[in-house]
Structure 1
Amino acid sequence: MDPIEAAIEEIKSLPHDQSFTFSEIARKHGVVRSTLIRRYKAITEPCTVKAVKQHALTPDQEIELVAWINRQNEKRLPPLRRLVQN
């Protein structure tokens, strides 16, 4: 498990009436305090999640597009740019 995720899980597992500081938990897990705070408050997200959200196509759409292009190639029809964009 990612150290930041482990730190967030520890914070969530604490009783609501128990006090804590982000500094002590960040130090315990070896993470940067400001990053821990931003991730805990959902201000930022992991790079991998952000990268997936920036894709124009979902993984299923991408698979379907590749299959369509392969079918076009089998028919000896070039996949025209405007057709691929549609």
Structure 2
Amino acid sequence: MDPIDAAVEALKSLELGGPPNISQVAREYGVERSRLSKRYRGVQGTNTSRAEKKQLLNTTQEKQLLQYINKLYIQGLPSIREIIRNFAAEIAY
């Protein structure tokens, strides 16, 4: 587990006893206090969630695109970039 994720979990477990000391937990886990605070408050997400927001296709749409490419391959048709781009645009909207 990433140290920042472990620190966030530790903060969540400390919530029951009152407001947690973010600076102390940040020192214990060796992470930046400001980064931990933002992640704990939900202001800053993970790199994965940020990357998912930038994607043009969601996971289901990506699977559909892969199935389409495999279908082209099985039929012996070349998976031309233009064909794939058109199909991706069709399923994206």
Q: CA RMSD in A?
A: 2.4
TM-score, with structure 1 as normaliser = 0.76
Corresponding residue of 1:62: 62
Gaps (5+ residues) in structure 2?
none
Secondary structure of the corresponding residue to residue 14 of structure 1: helix
- The percent identity for this pair of structures is 35
Give the C-alpha shift of residue 72 in structure 1.
Answer: 4.0
After superposition, the Cα gap between the structure-2 partners of 1:47 and 1:84, relative to the gap in structure 1 and judged at 3 Å, is closer
CA contact (8 A) 2:26 2:36 kept: yes
Corresponding residue of 1:45: 45
Mapping 1:6-85, distance limit 5 Å: 6-72=6-72, 74=75, 76=77, 79=83, 81-85=85-89
CA contact (8 A) 2:22 2:33 kept: yes
Q: Return the alpha-carbon distance in structure 1 between the equivalents of residues 87 and 55 of structure 2.
A: 19
Equivalent AA in structure 1 for residue 36 of structure 2: L
Gaps (5+ residues) in structure 1?
none
Secondary structure of the corresponding residue to residue 16 of structure 2: coil
Alignment: residue pair count = 86
Give the C-alpha shift of residue 80 in structure 1.
Answer: 6.9
